[in-house]
Chain A
């Protein structure tokens, strides 16, 4: 039932994705419904280029962002508009490392804790890889998923409200051009210039 509702409210791109996924034919062992009862496969490898803005207590961050995600983890670069790296975040099975432009290295078990400690604002990297696909991350927090008035998607999970908008289809995957993450007076926004699905 929930699947049907999600489909009915989904943007044309999401429907297209569902159709494409159907055409491609899922292997018989794959679950028909992925984690949140959504059609299609979870993308495990992608790259994103864009800009990022974070705002909290009248403070914040703004710059360019590069994000590479694969099965082994993530690499995120936060850059000034002229391209100079402000911080490099890498996540793998051993946890998360953050290297600042003065080449100081910090380590923590998860990205949210580390970015809050070092940058002053949280980047929920682990959930984000699922949320940008319009899916809740596996195993965590109460979740809700609904369509917004302007054709976007809103998710709620682990204290975050996630809004996705301006979808386009990239290699058969429907991905947002605009992402907003909110919790406790913090808002992190992404404006995506380019998605790339699969290896470069």
Chain B
């Protein structure tokens, strides 16, 4: 009985050490992964799928499309579903266009980008300025990182990023209402050649343009 409990104690102590060791190794590794990803990925392109889950984790929206970005501050989310929804960051402004509603919304990039997921992907290399970064270690086949916006006005409670190797595989964004958006990037290409006109936007004729 006594031996068993001693063994158990040792086993537990060893487990804790392993856990701590694991955590510290993972911490360096996961933050490194993000920094390496940001530093080594000047441009990127991937299909994406977007799931919105409510507080009870029921799927309330499914969307998909293609993301392209060019650091700093240039990105293009082209939605295939819902069709005709487009978000373009041209480096100075963010344009949101809905072809069916014939409506364009435009905002200055610094207002719009700050601590949003776009900043994590397409921002400058100063992530710590906008986010508190925390390593979550390995879960399944992915290394996870948690980014908490420093600004209360970001609309996000936190963002989690899952890396496979040095590539971003998935982002989970939790809003202030407890809803979660899961965005997967199944085929992220690093540093593809992207035409500059992917990151410009001219409002189509007949569209209403709204500045907020």
Chain A: residues with CB nearer than 8 A to chain B? Answer: 49-51, 53, 55, 58-62, 64, 66, 79-86, 88, 99, 101-103, 178, 189, 191, 193
Chain B: residues with CB nearer than 8 A to chain A? Answer: 50, 52, 60-61, 63, 77, 79, 82, 85, 87, 96, 98, 100-101, 103, 105, 117, 152-153, 155-156, 173, 175-177, 179, 181, 183, 208, 210-212
Report yes or no: B179 in contact with A82, Cβ–Cβ below 8 A: no
Cβ 8 A contact of A191, one of B101, B156, B175, B212: B101
Main secondary structure of the interface of A (DSSP, over half): strand
Chain B: CB-nearest residue to A87: B177
Report yes or no: A81 in contact with B77, Cβ–Cβ below 8 A: yes
- In the bound complex, residues from chain A placing their C-beta under 8 Å from that of B212 are 59-61
Q: Would A86 and B101 be within 8 Å (CB), given that A58-B210, A59-B211, A81-B87 are in contact? A: no
- In the bound complex, residues from chain A placing their C-beta under 8 Å from that of B155 are 80, 84-86, 101
- In the bound complex, residues from chain B placing their C-beta under 8 Å from that of A64 are 61, 82
- In the bound complex, residues from chain B placing their C-beta under 8 Å from that of A80 are 155
Report yes or no: A83 in contact with B101, Cβ–Cβ below 8 A: no
Distance A176 CA – B77 CA, assembled complex (angstroms): 27
- In the bound complex, residues from chain A placing their C-beta under 8 Å from that of B85 are 51, 81
Report yes or no: A62 in contact with B175, Cβ–Cβ below 8 A: no
- In the bound complex, residues from chain B placing their C-beta under 8 Å from that of A178 are 100
Closest 8 pairs between A and B when the two form their complex, measured CB to CB: A83-B181, A83-B52, A60-B210, A53-B103, A84-B175, A53-B101, A191-B100, A85-B177
